[in-house]
Protein backbone atom coordinates (compact mmCIF):
# COMPACT_ATOMS: atom_id res chain seq x y z
CA UNK A 1 0.00 0.00 0.00
CA UNK A 2 1.29 3.47 -0.88
CA UNK A 3 1.85 5.79 2.02
CA UNK A 4 1.35 9.56 1.99
CA UNK A 5 5.13 9.90 1.88
CA UNK A 6 5.28 7.70 -1.26
CA UNK A 7 2.56 9.76 -2.91
CA UNK A 8 4.33 13.02 -2.07
CA UNK A 9 7.61 11.65 -3.42
CA UNK A 10 5.89 10.60 -6.67
CA UNK A 11 4.31 14.04 -7.05
CA UNK A 12 7.69 15.65 -6.50
CA UNK A 13 9.27 13.45 -9.18
CA UNK A 14 6.44 14.34 -11.55
CA UNK A 15 6.96 18.05 -10.98
CA UNK A 16 10.74 17.69 -11.49
CA UNK A 17 10.16 15.93 -14.82
CA UNK A 18 7.43 18.42 -15.76
CA UNK A 19 9.81 21.36 -15.32
CA UNK A 20 11.90 20.24 -18.29
CA UNK A 21 8.85 20.02 -20.54
CA UNK A 22 7.66 23.59 -20.03
CA UNK A 23 8.64 26.18 -22.66
CA UNK A 24 9.48 28.85 -20.04
CA UNK A 25 11.89 26.65 -18.06
CA UNK A 26 15.62 26.45 -18.69
CA UNK A 27 18.56 24.56 -17.28
CA UNK A 28 22.32 25.05 -17.36
CA UNK A 29 22.43 24.04 -21.03
CA UNK A 30 20.47 27.10 -22.05
CA UNK A 31 22.06 29.43 -24.59
CA UNK A 32 20.24 32.55 -23.37
CA UNK A 33 23.34 34.30 -21.98
CA UNK A 34 23.25 37.89 -23.25
CA UNK A 35 20.15 37.02 -25.29
CA UNK A 36 17.31 36.91 -22.78
CA UNK A 37 15.75 39.84 -24.64
CA UNK A 38 15.52 37.60 -27.71
CA UNK A 39 13.82 34.92 -25.64
CA UNK A 40 11.30 37.42 -24.24
CA UNK A 41 10.97 39.06 -27.65
CA UNK A 42 11.56 42.60 -26.34
CA UNK A 43 14.10 44.99 -24.77
CA UNK A 44 12.19 45.47 -21.55
CA UNK A 45 13.95 45.42 -18.15
CA UNK A 46 14.91 42.02 -16.77
CA UNK A 47 14.48 41.33 -13.07
CA UNK A 48 15.79 38.21 -11.34
CA UNK A 49 14.46 36.52 -8.20
CA UNK A 50 17.25 34.43 -6.67
CA UNK A 51 16.32 31.33 -4.70
CA UNK A 52 12.78 31.93 -5.90
CA UNK A 53 11.29 28.62 -4.69
CA UNK A 54 7.63 28.81 -5.70
CA UNK A 55 8.28 32.34 -6.96
CA UNK A 56 5.12 33.87 -5.51
CA UNK A 57 6.82 37.26 -5.57
CA UNK A 58 7.84 37.11 -9.26
CA UNK A 59 4.54 35.60 -10.31
CA UNK A 60 2.58 38.44 -8.69
CA UNK A 61 4.84 41.16 -10.10
CA UNK A 62 5.03 39.64 -13.59
CA UNK A 63 1.22 39.73 -13.66
CA UNK A 64 1.16 43.31 -12.41
CA UNK A 65 3.90 44.58 -14.75
CA UNK A 66 3.69 43.14 -18.28
CA UNK A 67 6.28 45.79 -19.21
CA UNK A 68 8.95 43.98 -17.18
CA UNK A 69 10.50 40.53 -17.65
CA UNK A 70 11.11 38.25 -14.67
CA UNK A 71 13.37 35.22 -14.30
CA UNK A 72 13.12 33.03 -11.20
CA UNK A 73 16.23 31.03 -10.32
CA UNK A 74 16.49 28.08 -7.97
CA UNK A 75 18.26 24.78 -7.37
CA UNK A 76 14.92 22.97 -7.03
CA UNK A 77 12.93 22.27 -10.18
CA UNK A 78 9.96 20.79 -8.35
CA UNK A 79 9.39 24.13 -6.60
CA UNK A 80 9.64 26.19 -9.79
CA UNK A 81 7.39 23.86 -11.79
CA UNK A 82 4.24 25.23 -10.13
CA UNK A 83 4.65 28.95 -10.95
CA UNK A 84 6.08 28.02 -14.36
CA UNK A 85 2.98 26.00 -15.21
CA UNK A 86 0.71 28.82 -14.00
CA UNK A 87 2.61 31.26 -16.24
CA UNK A 88 2.10 28.94 -19.22
CA UNK A 89 -1.60 28.40 -18.44
CA UNK A 90 -2.20 32.14 -18.01
CA UNK A 91 -0.14 33.16 -21.04
CA UNK A 92 2.33 35.18 -18.92
CA UNK A 93 5.13 35.48 -21.44
CA UNK A 94 7.23 37.78 -19.23
CA UNK A 95 8.13 35.12 -16.64
CA UNK A 96 10.75 32.39 -17.07
CA UNK A 97 12.67 30.02 -14.80
CA UNK A 98 16.25 28.86 -14.66
CA UNK A 99 17.57 25.82 -12.81
CA UNK A 100 21.14 26.58 -11.76
CA UNK A 101 23.32 27.12 -8.70
CA UNK A 102 23.70 30.85 -8.14
CA UNK A 103 27.47 30.70 -8.32
CA UNK A 104 26.97 29.87 -12.03
CA UNK A 105 24.78 32.92 -12.61
CA UNK A 106 27.36 34.80 -14.70
CA UNK A 107 27.47 31.84 -17.11
CA UNK A 108 23.80 32.41 -17.90
CA UNK A 109 23.43 36.19 -18.03
CA UNK A 110 25.62 38.57 -19.99
CA UNK A 111 27.61 41.43 -18.50
CA UNK A 112 25.25 44.26 -17.54
CA UNK A 113 22.23 42.40 -18.88
CA UNK A 114 20.15 42.66 -15.72
CA UNK A 115 18.24 45.63 -14.29
CA UNK A 116 17.34 44.41 -10.83
CA UNK A 117 17.91 41.44 -8.54
CA UNK A 118 15.62 40.34 -5.72
CA UNK A 119 16.80 37.97 -2.98
CA UNK A 120 13.69 36.88 -1.12
CA UNK A 121 13.94 35.01 2.17
CA UNK A 122 17.07 33.01 1.41
CA UNK A 123 18.02 30.02 3.54
CA UNK A 124 19.91 31.49 6.53
CA UNK A 125 22.51 28.69 6.72
CA UNK A 126 23.00 29.53 10.41
CA UNK A 127 25.94 27.23 11.19
CA UNK A 128 29.43 28.68 10.71
CA UNK A 129 30.43 25.78 8.44
CA UNK A 130 27.44 26.55 6.18
CA UNK A 131 28.21 30.26 5.96
CA UNK A 132 29.75 29.97 2.49
CA UNK A 133 26.31 29.11 1.09
CA UNK A 134 24.72 32.41 2.12
CA UNK A 135 23.59 34.20 -1.00
CA UNK A 136 24.88 37.58 0.11
CA UNK A 137 28.51 36.50 0.57
CA UNK A 138 31.23 38.30 -1.44
CA UNK A 139 31.72 35.54 -4.10
CA UNK A 140 27.98 35.75 -4.88
CA UNK A 141 28.04 39.57 -4.83
CA UNK A 142 30.86 39.63 -7.40
CA UNK A 143 28.71 37.58 -9.78
CA UNK A 144 25.65 39.78 -9.23
CA UNK A 145 27.77 42.86 -9.88
CA UNK A 146 29.02 41.52 -13.22
CA UNK A 147 25.54 40.88 -14.65
CA UNK A 148 23.88 44.05 -13.29
CA UNK A 149 23.60 47.25 -15.31
CA UNK A 150 25.61 50.18 -13.85
CA UNK A 151 22.46 51.63 -12.27
CA UNK A 152 21.14 48.17 -11.31
CA UNK A 153 19.92 47.44 -7.79
CA UNK A 154 19.90 44.42 -5.50
CA UNK A 155 16.98 44.12 -3.09
CA UNK A 156 17.08 41.70 -0.23
CA UNK A 157 14.44 40.78 2.33
CA UNK A 158 14.47 38.31 5.16
CA UNK A 159 12.73 37.51 8.43
CA UNK A 160 16.07 36.33 9.85
CA UNK A 161 17.62 39.16 11.84
CA UNK A 162 20.94 37.36 12.33
CA UNK A 163 21.36 36.77 8.62
CA UNK A 164 20.36 40.38 7.99
CA UNK A 165 22.95 41.78 10.41
CA UNK A 166 25.56 39.45 8.91
CA UNK A 167 24.70 40.77 5.43
CA UNK A 168 25.06 44.39 6.58
CA UNK A 169 28.54 43.54 7.90
CA UNK A 170 29.42 41.97 4.55
CA UNK A 171 28.19 45.03 2.64
CA UNK A 172 30.07 47.48 4.86
CA UNK A 173 33.32 45.50 4.60
CA UNK A 174 33.07 44.98 0.87
CA UNK A 175 34.36 47.89 -1.18
CA UNK A 176 31.96 49.47 -3.64
CA UNK A 177 28.64 48.48 -2.07
CA UNK A 178 26.31 51.40 -1.46
CA UNK A 179 23.25 50.94 0.75
CA UNK A 180 20.30 52.78 -0.80
CA UNK A 181 17.37 51.69 1.37
CA UNK A 182 17.15 50.04 4.77
CA UNK A 183 14.39 48.93 7.09
CA UNK A 184 14.24 46.61 10.08
CA UNK A 185 10.45 46.51 9.74
CA UNK A 186 9.54 46.72 6.08
CA UNK A 187 5.79 46.48 6.53
CA UNK A 188 5.75 49.36 8.99
CA UNK A 189 7.93 51.56 6.77
CA UNK A 190 5.55 53.95 5.02
CA UNK A 191 8.26 55.26 2.69
CA UNK A 192 8.85 51.82 1.14
CA UNK A 193 6.97 51.00 -2.09
CA UNK A 194 3.95 48.72 -1.80
CA UNK A 195 5.49 46.21 -4.27
CA UNK A 196 8.26 45.47 -1.78
CA UNK A 197 5.57 44.51 0.70
CA UNK A 198 3.92 41.81 -1.41
CA UNK A 199 3.48 38.97 1.09
CA UNK A 200 4.41 35.42 0.10
CA UNK A 201 3.05 32.48 2.10
CA UNK A 202 6.24 32.36 4.22
CA UNK A 203 6.16 36.08 4.75
CA UNK A 204 2.58 35.96 6.02
CA UNK A 205 3.59 33.21 8.45
CA UNK A 206 6.57 35.20 9.74
CA UNK A 207 4.41 38.28 10.19
CA UNK A 208 1.75 36.22 12.00
CA UNK A 209 4.50 35.07 14.39
CA UNK A 210 5.31 38.72 15.08
CA UNK A 211 8.61 38.64 13.17
CA UNK A 212 9.33 41.93 11.40
CA UNK A 213 10.70 41.72 7.87
CA UNK A 214 14.17 43.18 7.30
CA UNK A 215 14.88 44.85 3.98
CA UNK A 216 17.93 46.38 2.35
CA UNK A 217 18.39 47.74 -1.17
CA UNK A 218 21.94 48.26 -2.42
CA UNK A 219 23.96 48.97 -5.53
CA UNK A 220 27.55 48.73 -6.71
CA UNK A 221 29.23 52.12 -7.00
CA UNK A 222 32.45 51.25 -8.83
CA UNK A 223 30.83 49.75 -11.92
Ligand X SMILES: C[S@@+](CC[C@H](N)C(=O)[O-])C[C@H]1O[C@@H](n2cnc3c(N)ncnc32)[C@H](O)[C@@H]1O
Closest approach of ligand X to the CB of residue 57, in Å: 6
**Enzyme catalytic residues:** 123
Considering CB under 6 A, how many residues would be counted as binding ligand X?
17
Residue (28 or 64) nearer to ligand X, CB: 28
Tell which one of 34, 123, 143, 146 touches ligand X (CB under 6 A): 123
Stretch of residues binding ligand X (CB under 6 A), selected from 90-98, 107-115, 120-128, 184-192: 120-128
Contact code string over 177-206 relative to ligand X, x by CB under 6 A: -----------------------x-x----
How many whole angstroms separate alpha carbon 217 and alpha carbon 180? 5
Pick 10 or 28: Cβ nearer ligand X:
28
Site for ligand X in 29-88 (CB under 6 A): 51-54, 73-76, 79
Residues binding ligand X (CB under 6 A)? 51-54, 73-76, 79, 101-102, 120-123, 200, 202
Amino acid sequence: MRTIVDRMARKKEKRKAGFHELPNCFDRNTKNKGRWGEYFGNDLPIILELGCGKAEFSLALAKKYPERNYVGIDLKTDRMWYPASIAVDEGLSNLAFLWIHLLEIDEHFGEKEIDEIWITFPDPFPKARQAKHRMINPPFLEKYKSILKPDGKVKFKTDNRELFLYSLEVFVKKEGVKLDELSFDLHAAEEMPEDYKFKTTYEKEFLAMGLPINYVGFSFVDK
